[in-house]
Each structure stands twice: as C-alpha cells, then as structure tokens.
C-alpha cells in the first residue's frame, strides 16, 4: 500500500478506532495506578455529567411519561396518575399501529436498499481516474450538508401536483400527473425518494473510502486473468468491501429508523397516516394535536428506541468482529 | 487506478460524471432557479428552466423578514460548537491517553447515545424545560442541539488523539507540566484538525436542527432559520420564490463549509457521522 492510499483511508480507520474503543469496554486499556486514574476521570467528568443530565434524564422522563396518564394540566402542575403499561397497550391496539410499523419498515428498507446500491455504483464510478473526479465527488456531498428543511421543502415544491417540475417532466414523457404528496398511494414513495437523495452521499463516501483501501495489484491480477469489469467487482471489490459495507448498512439502518424531519415537513405523515412512521406518529401524538397525548406519544417513542438499540447492538457487534478479524 | 494504466480516453468518463452530478444536483439547481422566478411565472406550464425573467424579489423578502432568524441560528450554532468542544475534547483526551478504569463503559454509553431518536430527546427535553421554565430560550436550544454532536465529537477526539505520540506527552511531563497544562498547551493545539471537523459538524447540525427548535422554541421571540422557513411555508404558500430564496440563504453555511473545509467534511462523514 503506497502512502497516498494509506492517507486516504485514514478517516475510516479513525472511525473504526473510535467505535472499537467503545465496543470493547475495559479491554486494551491498561489501568494505571493512582494519579492517572484520578486524572482520567477528572477529564471525563464534564461528559459524564453531561450524559447523565442531557441523555439519561430526558430518557428517564420519557419512560416516566409513558407510564402515567398526562394531560396538559397535569403536565404543568403535576399529579398525573400512574397507569402502568396502559399507554403501551393503548398504542399496540391502536388501528394506526400496524400501518406505522409497516411504513417504518418499508421506509427504512427501501431507503437503505436504494441509497446503498446507488452509492455503490457511484463509488465504483468515481474510483476510476478522470478529470474533475475529485471535484464532482465533493459536489455529491451537497445534498447531505443542506439543512433538512431546505431539502424537504425543495422536494415538496418539485413534487407539487399542479406546478411541480416532476409532473412537468412526466407530462413531457406523456405520463399523467401524479399526486405525489396528496394521495395516500404515493406519499410514502415521495418521502422515500427524498430520503434516498439525501442518503446517497454518505453511502458514496463510505464505500469510496473502503474501495481506496483495496490494493490496486489485486485488480491488475484479476485483469491479467481476463476478468471482466463485472467480475472484478463481484470477485474482488465486493468481497473486500464487505466489512465497510456492513458498517455503512448498519449505520444507515440505525439512522434511517429515526428519520423525522423529511417526512414531517413533506407530508406530516399524511394524508390519512399513509406516510406515518413511528417517529412521526410519536411526534403527532405528543405535539401534533391540540390535545396532546404525551403518554402514548412517549410510549411509541420508546418502542422506536428499542428498535434502534436492537440494530445498534448488531452494529457494535459487527464493529468488534471487524476489529478482531 | 494506477498511473500507467490510465487510459487516454478519460473524457467520456468526465462527461458521464458531469451528467450524474447534474442529475444529483438538479433539486439544488431548481431551488436556486425558483428563488429567482417571478411570482406570475411560478405556476407556469411549462416552467422556466432558467431564470429568464429573473427577479430578486424573493431575496428582498428574505432580507426584510428573515434576518433575525439567521442571526439567532448563527448564535445557536456557535454556542453549540463551544459547548460541544468544551465537553468532548477533555473526554476524548482521557479516553485516548489516560484510559482510566471504567472508561470503556463511558465510550459504550456514548455509542448508545448516538442511536437515540431525536423525537425521544425532544419529548424528554420538553418535559424538563416545561418544569424549569426553559422553553423558548436560546440557551435551552443550544443545550438540546449539542446532544446531536457531543457523542460523535467525543469519539472523533478520542480516535484522533490516540495518534498523538506518547513521547510528546512524556516530554511535557518531564518539563513539569501537569495534566491540565499538557492538555491545554500540547494536546489541543496538536488536535486542531479534530477541532475543525467537530466544530464543522456541530455547527451544521445545530444550524439545520428542526425538531428541537419546533418543540422547544416554537413560540419564542428568538427562533432559528429552520423555523423561519417552516412558518413561512405554513403562513404563505403562494410566494414560493421567497420560500426558496430563504432556503438558498439557509444553505449558505453548508456551501461555504463544503468549499472551505472539504477534506474535514469527508473525514467527518467517514467517521460515522450521519444526519438524523
């Protein structure tokens, strides 16, 4: 591996390093006597207090919310009666539960599938040398850096039924206009399209960095053996890329599960709940109505946490395995 | 891939690359185009593909109505950067170099913290701020926004500081510097790149935050630009050129940072940074 490729892959190694550091509690760290340990925790004190105050406490409040019957009045003055798991029962038997679960899974699955493979295709394309390659690759980051409200409102306007540019283009192709955001049939597709667009840059950069770590000699050898470009991808690039691909997919999974802004800004989960996921449903219950239902809202949110943590733990396991490999 | 294999005919790859980039950036182009379009042309069939009768009306409206929002966002963004670096940098140093017993548990907690959905945090913060009377306050929003960046920042600092040579720290110790002095005079200056990467993302995330702003600062006097756009769409869905002009202006920090700090952005993405 020459120095330049090594340099290019450094960020990924950094990420692995960071995650690995976290994934193996205790191991690798040599406990030192007395003063070092004391100083170590002194430097960790701010972040420890921070985590307790700004993560643990809000999480605790959320669990507490989900176990009580809160009204606007009791929210301010206290005295909400303890109701045990009633809010969870209520949420699970709600007719909105099944659609929200399905939408969450479809939204996450479809987003990941498309952004990963489009990102992969682009990473393969950009890993060839050509003029402007680096500049164009940098431009691909733009959608990822824009505030979500900007991307979401731009997509809303582009997908507008009457004046949107997408329907104009379809008209040009002889296709009848589609009510992208206002028909229950298309709303979920619309938010998935916007989310895929936002997710492509991340997949591109991750996979591109992974490809830079693959030694060029392997391609030379494969080419000498008469492998076609397609074979080179499936027999050389893809297998060697698998660890990076796995991390990319799992990170994507954890983060796509909790996507809220795009859906809320584009459709508010509607029409008639046709694009509502757990994230928007939870928000809808807690903040979207005149009479907020904090308890059920928190309950849905907590279910979402459980889902995210399940995938999160798979991610951490994968990180650890990769480090051991 | 390697120099000697570089084919002479790369121009078609550049051409394909340009087409792909144009496709990808079409929504961004469209946003700019619409921001320059006259009111009467907004709903034209077919639309103007270029701002032929360009107008700056949209931008004039932004200047009149959105400046306070932009100022608030700038303030919140900078506040979030300061808080994030202040909390995360010492922790990164400790996890990378001092490695106290039990530090691994903390790193694990940081990793888990990154997976908690924003909506959960928003609801928890809402409940807490309501009792503390901290709703609609800029300080409250800075604290909430920093939760998006702190775990990521700590792990980036830790990963970066692991690479600082032990001899450097040993030399400082030999010269009689205490831990605090070593951290401040040696570790922090050497970690400039990590500080830039972390600051960049903390700022961008705070600048882009919508969910905390909407739940914790929906009624306040000092609202960030994301709410400026959101309420603008809500109250006024006719003047799309002004809405798109606001969107363009709100994208300025992202664009500037991409141009100025491109390599830090790539480093940040691959460090596992994902927008939520």
The structure tokens listed for B230 are 């959101």
* Nearest residue in chain B measured CA to CA from A313: B112
Alpha carbon distance B113, B108 (integer Å)? 9
Q: What is the pLDDT of residue B9?
A: 65
Q: Is residue A255 part of a domain?
A: yes
Least confident range from A70-74, A243-247, A296-300, B253-257: namely A70-74
Mean of the per-residue pLDDT values of chain B:
87
Phi, psi of B188 (to 5 degrees): -65, -50
Give the number of domains in chain A.
Answer: 1
Q: Which residues of B117-149 are buried (b: 16+ CB within 10 A; e: fewer)?
A: bbbbbbbbbbbbbeeeebbbbbebbbbbbbbbb
User: What mean pLDDT do residues A291-309 have?
Assistant: 90
Residue A164 lies inside a defined structural domain of this protein: yes
Structure tokens that stand for A218 in this block:
């392997």
Closest CA to A195 of A265, A246, A247: A265
- Average pLDDT, integer, range A152-179: 89
B145: nearest CA partner in chain A: A54
As a dihedral over the C-alpha atoms of residue B8, residue B14, residue B17, residue B22, rounded to 10 degrees, the angle is: -170
Q: Binning pLDDT at 50, 70 and 90, where does residue A33 land?
A: low
Q: How far is B189 from chain A (nearest CA, A)?
A: 17
Q: Which of residues 63-92 of A touch B (CB under 8 A)?
A: 65, 75-76
Q: Decide if A244 is inside a domain.
A: yes
Chain B nearest CA to A85, separation (Å): 18
A139 inside domain: yes
Question: Largest alpha-carbon pair distance within chain B?
Answer: 76
Per-residue model confidence as pLDDT tens digits over A1-29: 333 333 333 333 333 334 444 444 444 44
B124, B209, B225, B249, best to mutate vs chain A, most A CBs in 10 Å: B124
Partner residues linked to B145 by β-bridges: none
Between CA B169 and CA B93 the distance in angstroms is 11
**What is the mean predicted confidence (pLDDT) over A147-170?**
90
- The shortest C-alpha distance from B128 to chain A (Å) reads 7
Q: Is the pLDDT of residue A151 over 90?
A: yes
Residue to mutate among A122, A124, A145, A276, with most B CBs inside 10 A, is: A145
CB contact under 8 Å between B208 and A142, yes or no, is no
What's the pLDDT score for residue B268? 79
**For position B199, what pLDDT does the model report?**
94
Among A221, A206, A216, residue whose Cα is nearest residue A4? A216
Q: How far apart are CA B113 and CA A254, in angstroms?
A: 12
Nearest by CB: B10 against A41, A129, A252: A129
Half-sphere exposure of residue B172: CA atoms within 13 angstroms, side-chain side: 16
pLDDT confidence band for B274 (50 / 70 / 90) = very low
* Whole-number pLDDT of residue B6: 52
Look at residue A77 and tell me if it is in a domain.
no
Q: Is the Cβ of A233 closer than 8 Å to some Cβ of chain B?
A: no
- How far is B109 from A77, CA to CA, in rounded Å? 33
In this complex, the residue of A76, A140, A163 whose CB is nearest that of residue B24 is A140
More confident residue, A221 or B150: B150
- A124-134 confidence digits (pLDDT tens): 999 888 888 88
Residue A193 scores a pLDDT above 90: yes
Tens digits of residue pLDDT in B134-181: 899 999 999 999 999 999 999 899 989 988 998 999 899 888 888 899
What number is the average pLDDT over the span A136-147?
90
Task: Name the fold adopted by B57-270.
Answer: MetI-like fold (1.10.3720)
The ipTM assigned to this model is 0.88
- The CATH number that applies at residue A229 is 1.10.3720.10
Q: What is the tens place of the pLDDT at every residue in A73-112?
A: 777 777 788 888 889 999 999 999 999 999 999 999 999 9
Residue B196's pLDDT band, with cuts at 50, 70 and 90, is very high
Distance from CA of B241 to the nearest CA of A (A): 11
Adjacent-strand bridge partners of A82: A68
> Looking at A172-176, A277-281, B75-79, which range is the least confident one?
A172-176
**Top-confidence residue, B49 or B72:** B72
Query: For residue A35, what pLDDT is reported?
Result: 64
* Domain annotation covers residue A252: yes
Note whether residue A263 is domain-resident. yes
Query: Is residue A148 within 8 Å of A262, Cβ to Cβ?
Result: yes
CB within 8 Å: A265 and B230: yes
Contacts for B27 with CB less than 8 Å, ≥ 6 apart:
A143, A151, A154, A155, A158, A197
Q: Of A235, A202, A7, A133, which Cα lies nearest the Cα of B1?
A: A133
pLDDT of B8 above 70: no
Beta carbons of B274 and A304 less than 8 Å apart: no
Alpha-carbon dihedral sign for residues A315, A200, B261, B115:
negative
Q: Would you say residue A300 lies in a domain?
A: no
Could A11 and B266 be called an inter-chain contact, meaning their C-beta atoms sit closer than 8 Å? Answer: yes
A-B interface: how many C-beta pairs under 8 angstroms? 357
Of the candidates A10, A320, A107, which has an alpha carbon nearest to the alpha carbon of residue B266?
A10
Minimal-distance CA residue of chain A relative to B130: A76
The pLDDT of residue A2: 37
**To 5 degrees, how large is the angle CA A50–CA A13–CA B98?**
45
pLDDT in tens, B69-117: 999 999 999 999 999 999 999 999 999 999 998 888 998 899 889 889 9
If you average pLDDT over residues B43-56, what whole number do you get?
78
Contacts of B214 in chain A (CB under 8 A): 287
Structural domain containing residue A176: 97-275
Residue A185 Cα, gap to closest chain B Cα (Å) = 23
The full set of domain ranges for chain B reads: 57-270
Query: In sequence order, what E strands does A208-282 have?
Result: none
Among the residue ranges A5-9, A167-171, B1-5, B236-240, the one predicted with the least confidence is A5-9
Q: Using CB atoms and an 8 Å cut-off, which of residues 121-160 of chain A contact chain B?
A: 122, 125-133, 136, 138-151, 153-158
The shortest C-alpha distance from A255 to chain B (Å) reads 6
What are the pLDDT digits (tens) for B229-266? 888 887 766 778 888 899 999 999 888 888 888 888 87
User: Which residues does chain A have within 8 Å of residue B91's beta carbon, measured at their own beta carbons?
Assistant: 43-44, 46-47
């Amino acid at each position: 591996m020459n120095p330049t490729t090594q340099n290019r892959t450094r960020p990924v190694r950094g990420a692995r390093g960071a995650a690995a550091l976290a994934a193996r509690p205790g191991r690798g760290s040599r406990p030192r006597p007395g003063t070092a340990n004391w100083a170590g925790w002194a430097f960790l004190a701010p972040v420890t207090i921070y985590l307790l105050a700004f993560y643990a406490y809000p999480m605790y409040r959320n669990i507490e919310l989900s176990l009580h019957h809160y009204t606007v009045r009791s929210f301010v003055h206290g005295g909400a009666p303890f109701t045990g798991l009633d809010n969870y029962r209520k949420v699970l038997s709600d007719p909105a539960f099944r659609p929200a679960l399905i939408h969450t899974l479809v939204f996450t699955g479809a987003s990941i599938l498309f952004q990963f493979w489009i990102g992969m295709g682009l990473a393969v394309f950009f890993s060839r040398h050509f003029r402007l390659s680096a500049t164009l690759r940098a431009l691909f980051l733009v959608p990822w850096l824009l505030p979500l409200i900007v991307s979401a409102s731009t997509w809303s306007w582009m997908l507008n039924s009457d004046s949107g540019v997408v329907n104009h283009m379809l008209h040009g192709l002889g296709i009848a206009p589609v009510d992208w955001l206002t028909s229950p049939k298309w709303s979920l597709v619309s938010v998935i399209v916007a989310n895929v667009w936002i997710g492509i840059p991340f997949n591109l950069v991750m996979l591109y960095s992974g490809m830079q770590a693959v030694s060029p000699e392997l391609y030379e050898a494969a080419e000498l053996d008469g492998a076609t470009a397609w074979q080179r991808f499936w027999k050389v690039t893809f297998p060697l890329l698998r660890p990076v691909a796995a991390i990319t997919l799992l990170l994507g999974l954890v983060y796509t599960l909790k996507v809220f802004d795009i859906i809320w800004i584009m459709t508010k989960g509607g029409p008639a709940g046709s694009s509502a996921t757990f994230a928007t449903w939870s928000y809808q219950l807690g903040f979207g109505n005149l009479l907020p239902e904090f308890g059920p809202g928190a309950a849905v949110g907590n279910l979402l946490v459980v889902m995210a943590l399940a995938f999160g733990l798979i991610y951490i396991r994968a990180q650890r395995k990769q480090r051991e490999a | 891939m390697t120099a000697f294999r570089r084919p002479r005919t790369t121009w078609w790859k550049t051409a394909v690359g340009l087409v792909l980039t144009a496709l990808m950036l079409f929504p961004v182009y469209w946003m700019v185009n619409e921001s320059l379009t006259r009111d009467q042309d907004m709903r034209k069939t077919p639309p103007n593909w270029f701002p032929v009768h360009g107008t700056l009306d949209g931008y004039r409206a932004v200047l009149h109505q959105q400046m306070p929002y932009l100022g608030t966002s700038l303030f919140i963004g900078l506040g979030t950067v300061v808080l994030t670096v202040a909390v995360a940098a010492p922790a990164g140093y400790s996890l990378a170099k001092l490695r106290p017993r039990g530090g691994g548990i903390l790193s694990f907690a940081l990793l888990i913290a990154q997976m908690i959905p924003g909506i959960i945090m928003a609801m928890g913060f809402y409940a807490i701020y309501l009792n503390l009377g901290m709703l609609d306050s800029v300080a409250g929003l800075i604290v909430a926004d920093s939760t998006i960046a702190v775990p990521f920042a700590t792990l980036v600092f830790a990963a970066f500081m692991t690479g600082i040579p032990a001899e450097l720290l040993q030399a400082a110790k030999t010269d009689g510097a205490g831990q605090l002095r070593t951290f401040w005079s040696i570790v922090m200056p050497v970690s400039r790149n990590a500080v830039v990467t972390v600051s960049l993302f903390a700022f961008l995330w705070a600048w882009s935050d919508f969910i905390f702003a909407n739940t914790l600062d929906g009624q306040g006097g000092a609202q960030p630009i994301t709410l400026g756009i959101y309420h603008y769409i809500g109250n006024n869905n006719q003047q799309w050129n002004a809405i798109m002009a606001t969107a363009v202006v709100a994208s300025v920090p992202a664009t500037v940072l991409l141009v100025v700090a491109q390599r830090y952005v790539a480093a940040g993405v691959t460090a596992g940074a994902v927008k939520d």
